[in-house]
Each structure stands twice: as C-alpha cells, then as structure tokens.
Structure 1
Amino acid sequence: MKIDKSDIFAGSRNGLYKLNVNQDSFQNLLIEDSEVRDKLGPYFISIAMAPNGKYWLGTLGGILQVDTLEDIQTKQYDWYFSELSDDDSLVDNLVSSLYFDASGVLWVGTEEGLDKYDPYENQFKYNTSISRFIDNQVPRIRDFSKTFDEKIIVATRHNGLFISEEEKYISLYNSQKDIASMYSPNGKIFYCGLWNGKILVYDYLNKTDKVIDVGFKNAPILAFEPFGNDQMIIASHGEGAVVLNLETQRVDESYGNLLPTLDINTVKASADNKIWFATQMGVYCYDQQSMKVIAYEAKSENEVGLPHNNVSDIAIDESGKIWAATRKGLCYYDPTLDNFLPIEEIGGVTESLDYKPSI
C-alpha cells in the first residue's frame, strides 16, 4: 500500500494515532483486543520497514508485523514474542531497535542481546557472536547503522562496535566507551555520542578512531542533526548543544553553546535555516540568520502555546509543517501566530513521532 506523503503517526499513552489529512484530525488506532493490548504494553518503541513494504514494530511485549499501520487496530497482524519453551522465538520482549539488512534479514536489539529474524525460515535465532567477545556476557544494544559497503554496525554499551561478517558479528572497535547514540552521514565516518559528553569518531575506511571533546562536562549526547555545508548539531541531555565542523571535526565557536543547561531530546533543521530543539523546558528555535533563539513554552489554559513544556520529539513533514510531541499531547507550529497549537484529539505522546514519506 502506498503511504500518503502527509502521513504522520504518533505513539501515546493511549495507543497509536494517525493523522487524517482530509479531516485535519487524529484517529486512534487502538487495539480492540484488551488482552492483547495489555500484553503489548502502551508504548511503540521502534519501527522498521521490510523490503516488501511491511512494517515491523517493537513494543514492550514483542514485535508486531503489519501490512499497513492501520491494520493494528483490527488485529490484522502477526505477533512475535518470547516463549521460554521455544528456542526459535524472540529472545526478549522489550525491543529497543530494529534494522533490515540488504538481504532482507531483520536484526533485533533487545535488553537481552541481539536477535535475528530470517523471513525465509520464519524463525528467530539468538545471535551469540557478540557475547563471545565479551566473556559470554549479554550485550546491551544501543543502535544500528549501515556502512557504505552494506554491512551493519552495532553499537553497544561499554563493549564497543561490532560489524556483520556473513552470519555473525565480529568486534570492530572496543575501547569500553559507554555509547549512548550513533550517527553516520555517509557510512564511512561514524559519530558515537558517549554518556560522558564526548564523541567517539570512528573512521571505518582507515580503521582509525579519536575522541572529540566538544565542551560538555558530563552530559550524554543523544542527538545529531546535519545542516548547511559540513556542519552538524551535537545535542546533549543537560548541557545544551554545539555546532561541529565536519571537515575540521572541531566545534565552531562562532555559534557558542546553544541552550546551555537544557536537556535536549531531539533536534531538527528546517528548510528556512532554522534549528528546532525539543527539550524538557519547551521548544526552542535558533534562527541562523538573526542568530537569535526563540522559546516556545506552555501557557495558561486560555493562552496559545505548548500543552506542556516536556517535549520528547519534533518532526518536520514533507510540506514543512513542524510537529511537537509533548507530555500532554501533540501540537503543531502555526507560522501566522508564531506559536504552537494543540491537537485536542490525542493525549500524552510519550515516545516519538514517526513521519512516513511515500514509498
């Protein structure tokens, strides 16, 4: 099924919502079976699209596979979960990350290690290859990323980076750094945000590494966003954000520290040279032309503004419309009012916004 270019899905405490473009309102895709709903839990943690166009969603209670996200509401899905008596089942129900490789195999990051689903054999197989490099311990998977030559890099906490090699993973780099996030603009250079506020830069082509001190004292780096020519925003949870020059790999001091002391959850760059930050104290917009920061915060009941200051995510759809997920619901930016307006139909978005472009 072709997904409309304006489709936006939002996970909330009350289930999954879809924006109805024609009615300009959100529709609740609530799972009708209460027993299944309770077992899955209230959160959709991760999502990936298979080569055949089907969606795979990670939850607190396993994985759902659907043809379209709307099928969740009417129980038209396949549900995969952990069964102690079945060695071919999912290793753990808390699914933190999902990634499809070039061959169509799904790699699953869980709290109990790395799992693999082979669509041709229709079974899960617990991948123990990483454990062999870490004294048979269970790796804590933080992120997946793809190299330029179609291999997969897995980032773990304290145990470094691992890379796919045929049917197994081998150690690629391990300095026992505590990795919080990973981003690569080209599949050649990998930026790993560390919990101590520094960045581990791994050069996949030359097999070299270095640690960049961007000025944060002890705040984890959770978000990266490229913008302009050879620049990238580095956002921390507690000490604001800085701009990194990708060519020199040094902080661009002309920007200073943006939003110092703030807990930044997400950062997005819009086409009009503005940078939008989702923080626990509201939404902040940095205008690169004026070099000024505008704060958008929650207002009193009768005033226009954010429903709540704790903003977990920001998404910019294809039309340029800016959406913000807050603790008390979803809202969008109205440029005519220069403020955010709430969507009344949907309550507390606790996880993330998922914008789906056309396929």
Structure 2
Amino acid sequence: MLRISRFFFLLLTVNSLSVSTPVCGQENVSNFEITHFQLPIETEAQDILEDRYGFIWIASTNGLWRFDGGNFKNYSKNEHEQNSITDNNISYLFEDSAGMLWVGTYGGGLLKYEREYDRFQRFVHDENNPESLSFNEVRVIYETADKAFYIGTDGGGLNLMNRETGTFKRFQHNALDVGSISHNNVLDIQESPDGRLFIGTWIGLNIFHPNTEKFTRLIQNIPGAFHAFPVLGFYNDLIVSNSKLFTVDKKNQFHNLNLPLERASAIQPDDEKSCWIAYKDQIAIIDSDFMSKKVIALNERFKEGPFNIREIFHNPVKEDSWALDSAGHFFSH
C-alpha cells in the first residue's frame, strides 16, 4: 500500500549503458516521497511498466530499455538477428495475466518477449495473410477480464489476437456499415467492470460487442470537446481526455469533469482507491467523488525540468507507482 511520507530525490547519473552511479540529494516537500531516475541517453520516452519480476521497462524511440534498479540494458533492432526487436520506435508495453511481456512498436508490429532466452518473437503484418496483424504501427495492447487480447493499431483498426495460434482477427472501419468501428486509428482501449469495452479512435469513441462483433458509436455532446479519444481510464466511470476532461456514465452519457488539470496524458487508478491523472508536469490524485486530494508539480520540485509526464504505472503487487516523462526521466513512489 502506498504510504504518504517525505519527499525524497535521487538522481542517477550513468557512466555507460550498463553501469550507473547514484548521486543523492534530498528535499522535503508536501510530505510525499518520490525517487527520480533518468535514462542514460537523450531520447523520447513513450511508456513504462514494472513487471512481476521487478524489472522496469521503458519504451523509447531509441529502442527498449530494461532497468534493474542499478543498471540499464538496451534492446535495439539488429538487421542480422531474427530475434531482436523489429523497430527502435517502441510505442507500448503490456504484461498479460500469464506474466508474458508484450511490446508494441511503431512500424515493426508486435513483439513477445521470451524471458528464458532474452529474445523476441515477432508478429508483423503480411499483406498475403489475412490472419496476420492488420498494421505494423501498434498504439495500444489490452487484455479483458475474460482474457480476450486486443491490439489497437494506428491505421489498421482493432485486432483480436489468438495467443495460442499467433493469428489475428481484424475489425476495421467500413463506411457502409454503421456497426463497424468509427475509425481505423485506434488510440486507447479500456474495459468497464460491467463488461463494456471502450475503443477510443482518432474520430469517435466506440463500444465493442464481442458477441455480435459490432460497434456502438457514442455521441459526444460536450461543447468544445475534440473528436479524438487518445486517453481513457476507468475510475467509477470512464474518464476521457481529449481537449478537456469528461466522464461517460453507465448509460453512456457524457459529463464534464472539473479538476485542477484541464486535460490528461495519463489516467491510472491506484491500489488505495484513488486515481492519478497527469498532464504536463503535474499529477492530480483524486478520490472516488472526483475531488482532488493532492496535486504534485514536478517542475516546482526538480531543476532538471521542464517535465512532461507521458505515462503512469501502478504495481499493486510491489506496492509502488511510476511516472514517465517524455524526455526519459522517470519517477517512483
């Protein structure tokens, strides 16, 4: 369980890709403990995950990074190695219910990490195989409560993967079918406790019905809201961010959400029945009534900014939380 304690700062400076030397500094601010790390090179960072073995994985535009608490290891594309990653632009990370690590790339399809051999199995688009991944630009990976496994692509629609056979079923936009997905650029996926599977796309928010394989396109009635749905998170109701923050209730109606942050780059509930919402350098921690409990501004705490938080990851087993900045800084609590 996350405990509110003092704010602690630790900066890692790295002498090589495999050796890092911690340099400590300390600041007591708002009684909230945070530890700060940084990737060993300048790169755009896109996702963060702590796996069940305690490794921190970071997706970047310079390959995949693994951090063991002291050392970094970089996985990059090798044209002469069939088990390397397929593209250095890593877009998404996901650990499924069986403990398998999946890696989405932006141009090289989907990867499955084989821990025993420290290598990757590839799943890429094949224009001659309709059961291959529909598109090689992966934006989101998601496993439902009943263990259905979905891959959202940035141009090829939604894929349902059979992990036993390595095959994919595609769901794509059809202008003549109102029951098809509203757009082929799938940006995010989120399931509600009552089983509604929300699919955010570049144009429109959908609910997918697996039994009929049809989509319901929701009508947004929030003035000033954008047509894209890039960030979804479920906390009592579905929280959505595009040009502003709003919720979608159990009747699929949209409502304005008034919080200290005007929009969000990440929305993640934690294991203390709170929800963390991040935008720019700030993290707002809200309660079940959508009231703000605390707002943490990283730019006010650290001179290494300005920061722009890209993702948040909570690990209920390890009882810690991680926030990733787009420039490769990452923070634990």
In the superposition, the TM-score normalised over structure 2's length comes to 0.68
Give a deviation string over 1:258-296, Cα, whole Å, max 9, x none: 69xx6553457899x9998756xxxxxxxxxxxxxxxxx
Distance 1:81 1:145, change over 3 A: same
- Report the CA distance between 1:38 and its aligned residue: 8.9
Q: 2:11 aligns with which of 23, 28, 36?
A: 28
**Amino acid in the other structure paired with 2:161:** S
Residues 261-276 of structure 1: pairs in structure 2 closer than 5 A: 264-266=264-266
> Is 1:208 matched up with 2:206?
no
Which position in structure 2 is the counterpart of 1:337?
none
Q: 1:116 aligns with which of 92, 112, 130?
A: 112
Q: 1:149 aligns with which of 127, 146, 160?
A: 146
- Judge conservation of contact 1:195–1:218 (CA < 8 Å) in 2: no
**Amino acid in the other structure paired with 1:82:** K
- Report the CA distance between 1:220 and its aligned residue: 1.6
Which position in structure 1 is the counterpart of 2:96?
101
Residues 38-53 of structure 1: pairs in structure 2 closer than 5 A: 40-53=41-54
Which position in structure 1 is the counterpart of 2:331?
none
Residues 3-14 of structure 1: pairs in structure 2 closer than 5 A: 5-6=2-3
Give a deviation string over 1:158-200, Cα, whole Å, max 9, x none: 322112211413124222532222211249422112222x211
Which position in structure 1 is the counterpart of 2:81?
86
CA distance in 1, matches of 2:234, 2:133: 37
Give a deviation string over 1:72-91, Cα, whole Å, max 9, x none: xxxx2432111112121111
The percent identity for this pair of structures is 17
Which position in structure 2 is the counterpart of 1:245?
249
- Report the CA distance between 1:218 and its aligned residue: 4.6
**Amino acid in the other structure paired with 2:185:** D
CA distance in 2, matches of 1:274, 1:38: 28
Which position in structure 2 is the counterpart of 1:173?
171
- Judge conservation of contact 1:268–1:314 (CA < 8 Å) in 2: no
- Report the CA distance between 1:6 and its aligned residue: 4.8
CA distance in 1, matches of 2:269, 2:113: 35
Which position in structure 2 is the counterpart of 1:350?
308
Q: Secondary structure at the match of 2:309?
A: coil
- Report the CA distance between 1:208 and its aligned residue: 2.9
Distance 1:55 1:269, change over 3 A: closer
CA distance in 2, matches of 1:270, 1:106: 21
- Judge conservation of contact 1:234–1:242 (CA < 8 Å) in 2: yes
CA distance in 2, matches of 1:47, 1:269: 15
**Amino acid in the other structure paired with 1:46:** D
Distance 1:269 1:105, change over 3 A: closer
CA distance in 2, matches of 1:88, 1:156: 22
Q: 1:316 aligns with which of 285, 301, 310?
A: 285
Which position in structure 2 is the counterpart of 1:57?
58
Distance 1:315 1:102, change over 3 A: same
What 5-or-longer segments of structure 1 have no aligned partner? 8-20, 280-310, 332-341
**Amino acid in the other structure paired with 1:105:** M
CA distance in 1, matches of 2:132, 2:170: 16
- Judge conservation of contact 2:150–2:161 (CA < 8 Å) in 1: yes
Comparing 114-123 with 344-353, greater Cα deviation is found at: 344-353
- Report the CA distance between 1:321 and its aligned residue: 5.9
Distance 1:30 1:321, change over 3 A: farther
Larger radius of gyration: 1
Q: Secondary structure at the match of 1:57?
A: strand
Distance 1:270 1:141, change over 3 A: closer
Q: Secondary structure at the match of 2:199?
A: strand
CA distance in 1, matches of 2:94, 2:256: 36
- Report the CA distance between 1:64 and its aligned residue: 2.2
Which position in structure 2 is the counterpart of 1:338?
none
CA distance in 1, matches of 2:248, 2:239: 6
**Amino acid in the other structure paired with 1:179:** V
Which position in structure 1 is the counterpart of 2:191?
184
**Amino acid in the other structure paired with 2:249:** N
Distance 1:81 1:268, change over 3 A: closer
Which position in structure 2 is the counterpart of 1:221?
229
CA distance in 2, matches of 1:82, 1:187: 41
Distance 1:195 1:212, change over 3 A: same
CA distance in 2, matches of 1:137, 1:233: 28
RMSD: 4.0
**Amino acid in the other structure paired with 2:191:** S
Distance 1:243 1:102, change over 3 A: closer
Give a deviation string over 1:275-319, Cα, whole Å, max 9, x none: 98756xxxxxxxxxxxxxxxxxxxxxxxxxxxxxxx25525399x
In the superposition, the TM-score normalised over structure 1's length comes to 0.64
